[in-house]
Structure 1
Amino acid sequence: MPTPRSLTAPALLLAALVTILVWWFPNREQAADVPMLADRFNSVSFAPFREGQSPLRDIFPTAEQVEEDIALIAPRVRAIRSYASIEGQYETAAIAQRHGVKMWKGAWLGRDLRQNDREIAALIHAANTYPDTVERVVVGNEVLLRRDLPVAELARQIDRVKAAVRQPVTYADVWEFWAQFPELADHVDIITIHILPYWEDEPLGVDRSMEHAREVVRKIKAMFPGKPIAIGEIGWPSAGRWREGAIPSRVEQAVFMRRFIQLSREEGFDYNFIEAFDQVWKYRNEGTVGAEWGLWTADRKPKFELSGPVRENPWWYWYAGAALLSAGVMFALAMRAWPDAAAWKLALLSAALGNALAYAFCGGWPYAFDEHLKLAFAVNFAGQALLAALLLRRAGQRLSGDFVEPARNGAQASANIRSIFRGRFRWRDWRGFAFEDLFFLFVFTAALLQMMLLFDPRYRDFPFPTFAVPLVAVVARALLGDLPRRGGGWAEWLAGGVLLLCAVASAVNEGAHNIQALGWSACAIGLSLAPLLRVGPFARVR
């Protein structure tokens, strides 16, 4: 019969193999069998904003940066689509002309009528100054979707442009709005529709998206016979929350792109792919998914090769290495502090915590798009790292038979947190409360986030990385018999009850097709059990 010591080496080997497997498997090469039938796109949406730049704050790139961007994508695109005519200290059409790239030149229309007039004037000037480059003009983008202007005013602006330029004139909106306002077709030369299966009211996965695109174009053609049809936006995000069976991922984006190129050749589509570069600033309005539609990253790296295999995370081995390294360090420190503890159990716990921390970093830092999100990530990651150290300490104490600090309840944790903000905190007593209070703080935070996921879910990610270590803590404490079963009160009812009820309701709202949502709801329910086991019918009586 094996002794606890003899199990240490197998446990370490198993932990290392599982770590490599869980990082490699989702990031293995995929989509190699999906061919790419073209080496150039008909058109791509072009917004040259980089990290720290945003049209929302009127921080624009320099002319040199725009030149670099167009030079980068020129070998891969026939044309680019812009959305505004008043930009920074540059004229995109002039730069595109130098690189032999055509343009769908746009004017941004909103509720400010004076600014609209300035946009229209700039559009007309660019179209007439660069007639060989600007092949069509797009007067407004999703104006009806946003309800920024009435149809009559939009039609007036379109007619104004038609009278002043030689190029075909169009307006671009989600395809349903052309069906809702068919009278607008009399004012344009081209019907430009947006088909974004991910954002449909009934989201579609990549497998169903091609037939959906084909059907939409045929429906619009039947509605407006004799009018040319262009797809002004079509694409797929590479990261973000799932919407039913619509899965944002790098692999799914590559598959969508390749299959759509094949479809466009079969059907002869005039299309514009959204978009050239990830637009970090869009996260403010659309969450992570809004910032992840580019074929190139925000730092101008291609997300994948146009043909051949694709990896979801090409840098997975760095994270696997970081997980192994952090697990090794934690295990060595734990064995030094508690040499009489069951080493194989500490080895497995160290591996779980190492992977949790690597996952927390992998799923958090790349999506910290501005200084506020970076600060939030830093606070959360520091909290998870501290919780991991405290959990390992508590496990070492229990496994070696040392004294373990008594459990504290949520009311005590809440009072302690308030004392921190009031400057009345006594740091010398940290051993008695640090683990329990920090763990309860994570559970309480999860309850707040779960309420947001229930009542305002559209642009919110499921926060797996934010609670990676707390989830490990729940499982580890359950296996070690360390989950308290009494002593709770109103704070446990509040945090645990809200988290449980909102998680169940969220799972129902998201639907059975959203595996990501169901997975997070299961995790949230697991977190809720830690406080709920201490109250009501769940608690053990002394």
Structure 2
Amino acid sequence: MESPRMRLPLALVVLVSMAVVAVWAWLGQPVPAPVSPLAAGEKLPCVSYAPFRPGQSPFSEDVAFSPAQIDDDLARLSKITRCVRTYSSIQAGLSAVPELARKHGLTVLQGIWIAADPVRNRREIEGGIKAAQENPDVVKAVIVGNEVLLRGEQSANDIAGFLKEVKAKIPAGVDVTYADVWEFWERNRGLADSVDFVTVHILPFWEDMPVAAEDSVAHLGEIREHVGEIFPGKDILIGETGWPSEGRMREGALPSPSNQANVIQELLALSKAKNYRLNVIEAFDQPWKRVLEGTVGGHWGFLDAYTREFKFTWGEPVSDHPYWKLQALIGVTFAASVFAVAGYSGRRAGGRPLGMREWSAVAGIAFFAGLMIGRLLATVPAESLGVGGWIRGGALVGLALLVPLSCAAAIGRRARLVTLTLALNSEATPGAPFFDRCLALLLAASLVLAAQIGFGLVFDPRYKDFQFAGLTPIVAAFAFYAAVAGPGRFSEGRHAEKMAAVLFLGAGTYVALNETLANWQALWTGSLFVVLAFTLWRLATAGRRR
């Protein structure tokens, strides 16, 4: 027969499990999509194409693309678009694009990559001219330079010289243009005299004042009309526009699968209604771009880098968490484990059974850990780049699993508050229990990881992800444990906790305010640092018993 002492934790297990499932069910609901902008059989006007697959990068000296790889990509793209835009003429294998595009009935906007290196620039120009000369039926325009002014690598006069040279050497009927963010066209209006049409990039997500997804299409329309007023009578191509499906928020601009699907479809509808020339960025996700732009940079494609398949279906709802049932199951299992560890530790320790206050703290730990562990496991692969990124991701997962279980065990055994001294100075803490030392080590490791994430968001935030999925189980666990644990035995070494508390309080406040109140990811992450600060202050100032 069920004992009265077991009814409370069992009821809390059920309550927490129901809450975790309910939240995931809400998050996993498909987001309605606009009516498909494409009629049956209609294709996109043009898409940006780069052949890099996972593991390939332009930063690698030996990167090369086989004709078979490009042929497979263009075969897929020919089903959804009439045109591809490239960015380089000399990267190994790219010379095959025009011929293979012809095979699949595609036209090409041939890119010439212009940077600071004059030798490479010369090779690019010669390669682009050759592509146009040999494929005038396929190459409809040559784009001489991409965001060169934005990067500050050439002057407008230099670019005009390159345009004049290319125009003189390519067949009649093949246009030349230059591509850059719209603000740089506005600042260099004379450059329009050197092009057959103006190619502007309008990326609401990357604006200096980021534009939310729901406002991005209206913003694009306003900018396109503004550019039209600057260059009256000049044909204009929107050379890059789109939305990312993954990564950190910028103010109110949230990357997500549903936002990407909605924005792209609404952009296409606007371009058809206004008769805008449009190129969507981009065909396939480019994981290598994470080196330059963080997680967001690798997720602008509307086709997955690994499966090479569409991320969404035109006109159909899109779930931002399509595997929410599995994530909910993982969360419920982990939450139940937190309760089980607390109960087992309490029985092993003996003494008075845990009361409402202690079980409520365990429930808090279980809820936040169960809620976030599924999201953490999903985001770590996307947000981990290179050895350092995977080490951090692995540390987040490890601590997000160990800390909630350990804090639940500490509550179960009625362990007292630990300090960093237990982990860092064993000579000053003779006789401390082994469990307390282990918990203190987890605290120290968590502070190091939180500091690395927090101060990155303070001093170099533009491309840094908000690691709230991993931090939440850790911070919540220590906070609930600190709220119910009794004063610690050792009084030495409390200054480190106070100093860390002040630093995390400052970091949390700055992160939230710097990203504006529209950024819920920043508010969440900043709040975690503030909670961590108060937890550390509690550890440092709780009454001491010798």
TM-score > 0.5 by shorter chain:
yes
Q: Summarize the alignment of residues 375-524 of structure 1 with structure 2, pairs less than 5 Å apart.
A: 375-398=391-414, 404=415, 406-415=416-425, 430-481=434-485, 489-524=494-529
1:325 pairs with 2:328: no
1:336 deviates by 4.6
- Output the amino acid matched with 1:309: P
Q: 1:415 to 1:53 in 2, by over 3 A?
A: farther
Give the corresponding residue for 1:47: 50
Whether contact under 8 Å (1:103, 1:136) holds in the other structure is yes
Whether contact under 8 Å (1:48, 1:61) holds in the other structure is yes
Q: 1:353 to 1:490 in 2, by over 3 A?
A: same
SS in 2 for 1:273: coil
1:15 deviates by 2.2
Give the corresponding residue for 1:7: 8
1:462 deviates by 1.1
Give the corresponding residue for 2:381: 365
1:148 deviates by 0.6
Q: 1:342 to 1:431 in 2, by over 3 A?
A: closer
Q: 1:349 to 1:180 in 2, by over 3 A?
A: closer
- Output the amino acid matched with 1:85: S
What is the CA–CA distance in structure 1 between the aligned matches of 2:239 and 2:488, rounded to whole Å?
A: 58
- Output the amino acid matched with 1:267: K
Q: 1:101 to 1:370 in 2, by over 3 A?
A: farther
- Output the amino acid matched with 2:451: A
Whether contact under 8 Å (1:238, 1:249) holds in the other structure is yes
What is the CA–CA distance in structure 1 between the aligned matches of 2:538 and 2:335, rounded to whole Å?
A: 30
SS in 2 for 1:137: strand
1:130 pairs with 2:135: yes
What do residues 357-402 of structure 1 show as CA deviations (whole Å, max 9, x unaligned)? Answer: 323212213332444423332233223322233223212212xxxx
- Output the amino acid matched with 2:12: A
Give the corresponding residue for 1:205: 212
SS in 2 for 1:363: helix
Whether contact under 8 Å (1:143, 1:173) holds in the other structure is yes
Give the corresponding residue for 1:113: 118
- Output the amino acid matched with 2:50: A
Give the corresponding residue for 1:423: none
SS in 2 for 1:297: coil
User: Which of 100, 104, 126 is 1:99 aligned to?
Assistant: 104
Q: 1:415 to 1:123 in 2, by over 3 A?
A: farther
1:24 pairs with 2:25: yes
Give the corresponding residue for 1:316: 324
Size of the aligned set, in residue pairs, is: 524
1:256 pairs with 2:263: yes
Whether contact under 8 Å (2:417, 2:482) holds in the other structure is no
Name the stretch that deviates more: 44-53 or 472-481.
472-481
Q: Summarize the alignment of residues 220-369 of structure 1 with structure 2, pairs less than 5 Å apart.
A: 220-299=227-306, 300-332=308-340, 334-339=342-347, 341-342=353-354, 349-369=365-385
Name the stretch that deviates more: 155-164 or 442-451.
442-451
- Output the amino acid matched with 1:388: P
Q: TM-score, normalised on structure 2?
A: 0.89
Q: 1:60 to 1:469 in 2, by over 3 A?
A: farther
What is the CA–CA distance in structure 1 between the aligned matches of 2:212 and 2:58, rounded to whole Å?
A: 31
What is the CA–CA distance in structure 2 between the aligned matches of 1:348 and 1:181, rounded to whole Å?
A: 57
SS in 2 for 1:86: coil
Give me the CA root mean square deviation. 2.6
1:87 pairs with 2:91: yes
What is the CA–CA distance in structure 1 between the aligned matches of 2:156 and 2:215, rounded to whole Å?
A: 32
What is the CA–CA distance in structure 2 between the aligned matches of 1:531 and 1:479, rounded to whole Å?
A: 11
Whether contact under 8 Å (1:324, 1:354) holds in the other structure is yes
What is the CA–CA distance in structure 2 between the aligned matches of 1:483 and 1:429, rounded to whole Å?
A: 15
Give the corresponding residue for 1:194: 201
Q: Summarize the alignment of residues 51-70 of structure 1 with structure 2, pairs less than 5 Å apart.
A: 51-58=54-61, 59-70=63-74
Whether contact under 8 Å (1:161, 1:169) holds in the other structure is yes
SS in 1 for 2:89: coil
What is the CA–CA distance in structure 1 between the aligned matches of 2:494 and 2:482, rounded to whole Å?
A: 20
1:235 deviates by 0.6
Q: 1:350 to 1:518 in 2, by over 3 A?
A: closer
Whether contact under 8 Å (1:274, 1:294) holds in the other structure is yes
What is the CA–CA distance in structure 2 between the aligned matches of 1:267 and 1:483, rounded to whole Å?
A: 69
Q: 1:519 to 1:42 in 2, by over 3 A?
A: same
Q: 1:412 to 1:34 in 2, by over 3 A?
A: farther
Q: 1:283 to 1:348 in 2, by over 3 A?
A: same
1:348 deviates by 6.3
What is the CA–CA distance in structure 2 between the aligned matches of 1:187 and 1:430, rounded to whole Å?
A: 75
What is the CA–CA distance in structure 1 between the aligned matches of 2:107 and 2:169, rounded to whole Å?
A: 20
What is the CA–CA distance in structure 1 between the aligned matches of 2:160 and 2:84, rounded to whole Å?
A: 24
What is the CA–CA distance in structure 2 between the aligned matches of 1:351 and 1:206, rounded to whole Å?
A: 30
Whether contact under 8 Å (1:52, 1:370) holds in the other structure is no
Name the stretch that deviates more: 386-395 or 158-167.
386-395
1:448 deviates by 3.5
User: Which of 519, 522, 525 is 2:530 aligned to?
Assistant: 525
Q: 1:17 to 1:34 in 2, by over 3 A?
A: farther
- Output the amino acid matched with 1:304: F
Whether contact under 8 Å (1:364, 1:377) holds in the other structure is yes
- Output the amino acid matched with 1:44: V
Name the stretch that deviates more: 112-121 or 386-395.
386-395
Whether contact under 8 Å (1:444, 1:495) holds in the other structure is no
What is the CA–CA distance in structure 2 between the aligned matches of 1:541 and 1:369, rounded to whole Å?
A: 44
1:415 deviates by 4.7
Whether contact under 8 Å (2:243, 2:263) holds in the other structure is yes
What is the CA–CA distance in structure 2 between the aligned matches of 1:237 and 1:79, rounded to whole Å?
A: 21
Name the stretch that deviates more: 76-85 or 434-443.
434-443
What is the CA–CA distance in structure 2 between the aligned matches of 1:78 and 1:453, rounded to whole Å?
A: 42
Q: 1:185 to 1:482 in 2, by over 3 A?
A: farther
1:539 deviates by 4.7
